[in-house]
Amino acid sequence: MATVSQVVSPTTGSSECPPSANHSGHAVYGSIPPVFERQEAALLMILGFGGVSVLLALLHRQVRKRVFHDDNNVDTAFDAGGRVSTSLTAVTVASQFLWPGDILQSSTITVKTGISGPLWYTVGAVMNIALFPIVSVYLKTRAPGAKTYLQIMYARYGRAAHILFVVMALMVNLCVIAVLIVAGVSTIKAATVDASDEFCVVIIAVLFGSYSFIGGLGTTFYVSYFNAVLTFSILIALNIKILYSSDSTTGGGNIKNLYAHIQCLQGPTGNENRSYLTFWSENGFVYAFMGLCVSASITYCDQAAWQSRIAAKPLQGVLGFLIAAFIWFAIPISISTSAGLAYIAMAATNTTSVLSPSDIDEGLVTPFMAERLLGGMGSVLILTMIAMTLMSTGSGEVMAVSSIIVYDIYQIYVHPFRKDQDAHSCILCGKTRPVDGADEDSSKCYCPGVLTCDPCRRDLESSTERKEGSNYEHKHYTCPHHGLYRQYQQDMLSYKSWCILWVTVAIVPLGIAVQMSGLKLNWTMLNGFVLTLPCFPVVVLSIFWSKTTGHGVIAGAVCGMLGGVGALLGTASTYPGGLQLFQKNTSENLCVMAGAGTSIGLSVIVCFVVSLITHKIHTDADVENEWRKLRDIDNPLHPWSELYTEDIPDLAVGERPSVKQLEQAFGRARLAAYIGGLATLVLCVGLVPGVMLSLHVLSETQFTVWTHVLQWFCFAMAAVVVVAAPVEEVVQVVRRVRANNSERRQKETANSAYNLKTINSAD
C-alpha cells in the first residue's frame, strides 16, 4: 500500500498495476526548489500585483468621483455606494471566500481522504453560502441603513452585548488573517530563496492594505475581478497539464494514467474498500461537517461577508451570492481533485521524492505538484494564484476590521457625536423620533431631511466652490440642523484613512507572532473558529426573531464558547499524549467535531431558552417597536431611503419607506433568495453527492466522466467571471453617465428659464 507521506508497492499483484520504483517502504522527503531571489519576489508581488491593484484603486476612485459623485463620503468607503452589480458582487464574494487555504488545504484533504474529500468539504461550505442570501434579505429589510452587523446588536441589546460581539467579530477576523498569513508565508518561502518569516509577513501586509487605503471597499470589487480572472487562468492551465497531457513521468499525465495508478492503492481506513476512488468515506463526511462549521463562522460572523452583501441592493446581492456559490465551488474542488490525485499517483510510483507529513499539513501539495509538472513556471503560477487570493481576502479583512473600529468602537465609545445616544433618538437633536402616523408633538424630533434642507444645499455649493478655487480651506458648515454632523463626518474621512493604515501595519507584528507560535495551516483551518462559532446562531436569531434578548445572546455566546473549547480539549485529552501533543491531538477529527457541535448546540439552546424567559414582547406593537430600532440605524446626511427611490417610485424626496413598502420592493429579492437557495442546495448538496454516492468505488469510465464534468464546470465559471462582470459594470456606469447628463440639461434649462423670466420682469 501507499500512504500520502511514503512510497510503497501497489496492493495487488495485477499486471494492470504499474510497478513501484521503490519497494523499501521508506520515504525520501523532497521539497519545492525556490525560483525567486528575495528581491525578485518582492518586486513581483509588491510592484507587480500591488502596483496593478493601486492602479485599479485609482480607477475606481475616479469613477466614484466623476460619475457617482459620492467619493467624499465615509459610508462609501465601507459600502462602495450600495449599488454594486450582480456579477461584480458574485466575483468578489467568491474571491473573498477563496482563501489561500482553499487552494492549499483542499489538496491536503484529497491526499488524506481521496477523491471524496474535496466534494464533501465544498458541499459543507456551499450550504452556508447558499443560505446566507435569505438572512441578508431580512437584514436589508429590517436594518437597511446598517453598515456592520454589530450595529444591529447595539441597537437591539445595548452596550454589554455589543461589546461582547465586537470582541467576537474581531476574533473571527483574527482567525481569518492568521489562516491567510500561515498559508501565504508557507507558499512564499517555498518559492523564494532564504525568505524569512518577517520578509513574507511584510509583503502580505502590503498586499492586504495598499489599495484598500486608496479606494476603500469599492476597490476590492475591481481588484477581486482582476484576481479571479488570473486565478481561473492559472487553474485551467494547471488542470490541462495534469489531466490532458501525454507526460506520465509523475504518475499522472492524463486521466487514464491517473486512474491506473490510484486504483491499485490502498486508501485510508474508513473509505469503502480502502479505495481512494470512492465517495463513501468517513473522513470525507467529517470534512463536510467541519467545512459547514468553519464556513458558518466565516459567512455569518465575519464582517467582510456582510459588507460585501451590504454593498449591493437586495436583488443584486441575493443573485450575486448565489452565483458566487457556484464560482467558489468550481475552484477548490477542481484544483484539489487534479493536484491532490496527481500527488497520490506520483507517491505510488516514487519517480521523485515526496513531501513530509509536516509539509503536507502546511498545504504544500499544490505548489509541489505545480513545480513538478511545470518546473519553475509552476511555482510562479502558484505564487501568483496565492497572491491573488491573499489580496482579495486580506483586503476584505482589513476593511472589515476598519469598519468595526470606525462604526462600532470610535463612533460609539471613543468619540461619539452625541453621548448616551438612545436607539430611538435623533443623533442630530437628541429628541425621540416620532412614530409613523402619530400626531405632532413638540417633544419629538422634526429635523428636516438633508435632501430638502436649503441651508445644506448652500453649504455644499459653497464648499464645492472653495474646493475648486485656488484657496481651498477646511470646510465650515453653517446649516443649523446638519452642519455640525457634516463636519463630524468630514473628520471621520480622515480618521477612516488612518484606521485602514494602522490596521495594515498591525498585521506585521500579528503575522510574526503567528509564525513564531508554530501554527500549521491544517490546525488553524480546523480549530481557529471553534471560539467564534457561538456567534453564528445568535446573530441569525437577532435578525429573524423579535423575542431574542440581550441576556439571551450574551448567555448563548458565552456558554457556546466555553462549552466548545471544553469539548475540544476534553476529547483531545483522551488521545495518546493528551494535551501535551496539543496541535496534533486537537486537530483530530473527533475533537474538532465535538468542539464545533457543542459550540453551536449550546449557543442555540441557551440563547433560545434565556430569551424566552427574559423577553418583553407580548403584542404586535411590541414587535413593531423592536424592529423599529433597526430601521432607525441611519446616516442623516446619506439616508438609506435615498438608495431605494428607483425601487419605490411613489416615494417623496426625503421620505422613509414603510415596512410594507420595503417588503413589496424586496419581494422579488426574497423570492429569489428562497428559490435560488433551495435550488442550490438541491443541486450541490442533494443531487450531485447523491449520484456520486450511488457509484461506490468508481470505475475508469465513471472517474473520467466525473473529472470531465468538474473541468468543464470550471471552464464555464471562468467564462462567467471573465465576461459578465466587466460588461455589467460598464453598462451601469454608462447608465449613470446618461442620467447625470440628463440632470445637467434639466438644470441648465431651468436656469435659462429663470434668467429669461428675470429679464422679462425687469423690462
How far is the C-alpha of 678 from the C-alpha of 709, rounded, in Å?
Answer: 22
pLDDT at 179: 81
Can you tell me whether residue 617 is helix, strand or coil? coil
Q: Of 45, 32, 43, which is closest to residue 383 (Cα–Cα)?
A: 45
The Cα-based distances of 84 to 38, 62, 312, 624, 736 in angstroms read 38, 16, 5, 30, 13
Closest C-alpha among 68, 96, 399 to residue 225: 96
Q: How far apart, in whole angstroms, are the C-alpha atoms of residue 382 and residue 36?
A: 13
Q: Beta-carbon neighbour count of residue 275 at 10 Å?
A: 23
Cell numbers for 721: 467571471
Phi/psi for 444 (5° steps) reads: -95, 165
Looking at domain 41-422+492-526+666-719, its CATH class is mainly alpha
- Angle of helix 217-243 relative to helix 197-215, nearest 10 degrees, comes to 130
Cell of 195: 525568505
| Helices 100-113 and 341-349: angle between axes, nearest 10 degrees | 50
> Could you give phi then psi for residue 36, rounded to 5 degrees?
-120, 145
Q: Phi-psi bin for 735: left (phi > 0), alpha (psi -120 to 50), beta?
A: alpha
> Within 13 Å of residue 355, how many CA atoms lie on the same side as its CB?
27
Residue type, 758: T
145, burial (CB in 10 Å: exposed 0-12, middle 13-18, buried 19+):
buried
Half-sphere exposure of 459 (CA within 13 A, CB side): 22
- Consecutive sets of 10 residues in the chain, 763 residues long: mean pLDDT of each? 38 48 46 76 75 71 68 58 73 74 77 86 81 83 85 91 92 85 81 85 82 66 79 83 66 74 84 90 82 78 77 78 86 84 79 70 79 78 78 81 89 84 76 64 72 78 52 62 83 80 88 82 71 86 91 94 91 87 82 88 94 91 86 82 73 72 80 89 87 89 89 87 81 77 72 61 59
Positions of CATH 1.20.1730 in the chain: 41-422+492-526+666-719
The distance from CA 716 to its chain's CA centroid, rounded to whole angstroms, is 22
